[in-house]
A and B are shown apart, each in its own frame.
Chain A
Amino acid sequence: MRIQQLKSQAISRAKRLYVATMMQVVGRALQAISQEDNEIQRELSAFPENFTFAMKVLPAGPGLMLRKAADGSFIFLSDSDGEADLTIYIKHIEHAFRMLSFQESTATAFANDRMVVDGDISSAVRMVRALNRLEAFILPKLVAEMAIKEYPSITLPEKLIQGARIYLRVATNFLSEQRKAA
């Protein structure tokens, strides 16, 4: 095999691994933020209990799935197989990589036809807003301003606190999962 081929294979694998990992991070971050943030709770309030949201890379993943709990927050599901009420399909792993490495915001990815929605369009509208807000929370302000349509007016301390909380929750969530697995 030529060295060039090996190199591009390695890049493809790394990209896929990155996307798979980020799907987990975004899924867990959504769970955490949905317990904390009023704005996101307001977006989710329109969904019925047990509503499931999925984001999947075509043709066969990776992806993430969340289910709305009785208290109105999202629960990250470790198994993303199966039909969801609303699925955002990303057309190619490269498009997912750009989005999840924040080179292209969710809204821009929509405008650029990188994704297709399976489900009710007004549910999709709410989820895109929730994802935009999530990006603002988990990214440093400078990067976020490039990645999203608008940086929400969160004062720095609030953002720091919220962001830290979310990171913390994501981290502890990861830890407890690993403990379960071990």
Chain B
Amino acid sequence: MSKGYYEFFCPVKVIAGEAALEHIPFELSALGVSNPLMITDKGVRGAGLSDYVITACSEGGVEMASIFDDVPPDSSTEVVRNIAAVYREQGADSIIAVGGGSVIDTAKAVNILVSEGGDNLAKYSGAGVLKRPLKPFFVIPTTAGTGSEVTSVAVIADRKKGVKLPFGSPFLLPNAAIIDPRMTLTLPAHITAATAMDALTHAVEAYTCMAKNPLSDAYAFSAVKKISEHLLEVMENPKDPQGRLELAQASTMAGIAFSNSMVGLVHALGHALGVICHLPHGMCMSLFLPYVLEYNLRKGKIREPLAELLLPLAGARVYANTPPEQRARRAVAAIRELRDELFERCKLPRTLKETGKVSLDLLPKIADVAMDDGSIIFNPAEADFEEVLEVLKSAWDDM
């Protein structure tokens, strides 16, 4: 089915590859700034990753206005306010975020405050509230998964009110995303696996859900190929910079794909499970991906695109040897095989039961929360509560 209409937008300059960090001073000067505030977390700092950035900048004549390295895994409006205060005190003129999803979301929110002024973040919550460009902003991802460096959304918790504030605006996008293989080289095996499965899910959902379009298809297809070709290789040989770079690029490409064509039921279920059972997002994606694909396939909605994905998932030989009518099923099998390999290598759980953190009686509650998740709108099959519960039951122990 050809898409009757679509939109595609990604103004982020991607700076990727060997010695990519060393391009930052030049890119800063091109935007007329020289006094960046670095926002990161203790883990990144402790692993010495921020030092690569500091040295690269310093050698290029740029010193950090300040370094804030205390972003918690679940950031809040209070943290954002504190960082904005540091930015103002130190007279910074730009922001460099070094980290994963939480650091990047926090930095996006800081950029709202330091650009718009004031301390009231809630005022800017919602879609399209921001009306003008913010301060120059660079993102250096240290996990290969979330794709946050190319998405125009952020979520920050307001602890006092007990709510999560969503922000959506093209102005939240960074000016540049810097993908340097050094930043993911020391990522532990289980995080490498889980975040890569998040990226794979972004690509597969972008390619099979309702808002798919030719441009996001191109990014998604190539991202799937890179992940299936390089993930196990990196699991075997974690210090291989080339393999790491391939995964990091795949994550950014999958991010570009899904931020333009959205995700579906895997994410709706994954968000619900994450909130209720406090499991990492990437693991949640891996837990649901095959079962949701099987469900959408049963409903007759994704046979064609899923069959196409067999090529990047399993390679030309398998694709050619599989009769066309079996390719979609074979694609799901390829994802299952990948999960088996990851389970063997780092115990990334394949079923809800295997996590040891989910009990059977929670499934209706998870289904309920998933039904309210924004991602479910774009799932190609209109899933009702009973069907979502069925998917959860098959994800429970793969029966």
B267 to chain A minimum Cβ distance, whole angstroms, is 13
Q: Is the CB of B382 within 8 A of A46?
A: no
Q: Is the CB of B5 within 8 A of A107?
A: no
Binary interface encoding of chain A residues 104-117 relative to chain B, with 1 for a CB under 8 A from any of its CBs, else 0? 10011011111011
B345 to chain A minimum Cβ distance, whole angstroms, is 37
Give the complex CA separation of A118 and B125 in angstroms.
11
Asked whether A124 is an interface residue with its Cβ less than 8 Å from the other chain, the reply is: yes
| Contact pick for B211, options A112, A116, A124, CB 8 Å | A112
Which of under 10, 10 to 19, 20 to 34, or 35 or more describes the interface residues of B?
A: 20 to 34
Q: Is the CB of B210 within 8 A of A107?
A: yes
Interface of A, secondary structure class, is helix
Known: A117-B127, A118-B126, A149-B380. A125 touches B373 (CB 8 A): yes
Q: Is the CB of A116 within 8 A of B127?
A: yes
Asked whether A1 is an interface residue with its Cβ less than 8 Å from the other chain, the reply is: no
Residues of B contacting A107 in the complex (Cβ-Cβ under 8 angstroms) = 210, 377-378, 382
Interface of B, secondary structure class, is loop
Asked whether B262 is an interface residue with its Cβ less than 8 Å from the other chain, the reply is: yes
Give the complex CA separation of A175 and B166 in angstroms.
44
Q: Is the CB of B372 within 8 A of A46?
A: yes
| Contact pick for A122, options B127, B128, B374, B382, CB 8 Å | B374
Asked whether A6 is an interface residue with its Cβ less than 8 Å from the other chain, the reply is: no
Known contacts A110-B377, A112-B3; 18 further A-B pairs (Cβ under 8 A): A39-B384, A104-B4, A107-B378, A108-B4, A110-B378, A111-B211, A112-B5, A113-B5, A116-B127, A117-B127, A121-B374, A122-B372, A124-B374, A125-B372, A125-B376, A125-B377, A149-B381, A150-B382
Q: What are 28 A-B interface contacts by the 8 Å CB criterion?
A: A107-B378, A107-B382, A108-B4, A108-B210, A110-B210, A110-B377, A110-B378, A111-B210, A112-B3, A112-B6, A116-B127, A117-B127, A118-B126, A118-B127, A122-B372, A122-B374, A124-B377, A125-B371, A125-B372, A125-B373, A125-B376, A126-B372, A128-B377, A132-B382, A148-B382, A149-B380, A149-B381, A150-B299
